[in-house]
Amino acid sequence: MAKYLVHTLQWVGFQLVKPLMVLGNMNGAFKTGWYLHYPNSNQSGHRVLAKLLMSLQHGAGMPLDDYGDRDLGLSEAIDQRGPLAELMA
């Protein structure tokens, strides 16, 4: 089963939706068989792409809670640390 993640990028006031697909469950590390759609940039529940990359690292046994620089353009209420809890088994 495949899991789809939708990530929204924002370029100069214009939004482009980029679907992402994760295949497999990384030996049981990921939940499978469902679709996730996250809110647009800077809205409650928005996720950054770095959280997907941290999820992949957690699944591979290399847990990291920070990846790259924080997006300073986002509200402090937007969680930018750790893996996607909705993806992890």
pTM: 0.75
Can you give the pLDDT at residue 79?
86
Q: Would you state the torsion angle of the CA atoms of residues 34, 40, 45, 51, taken in this order, to the nearest 10 degrees? A: 70
Residues 12-43 have pLDDT tens digits of: 455 556 778 888 899 999 998 888 877 777 77
Whether pLDDT at 52 is above 60 = yes
Could you tell me the residue ranges of all domains in the chain? 1-89
Q: For residue 3, what pLDDT band results from cuts at 50, 70 and 90?
A: very low
Q: How much of the chain exceeds pLDDT 70, in percent? A: 81
CB 3 within 8 A of CB 21: yes
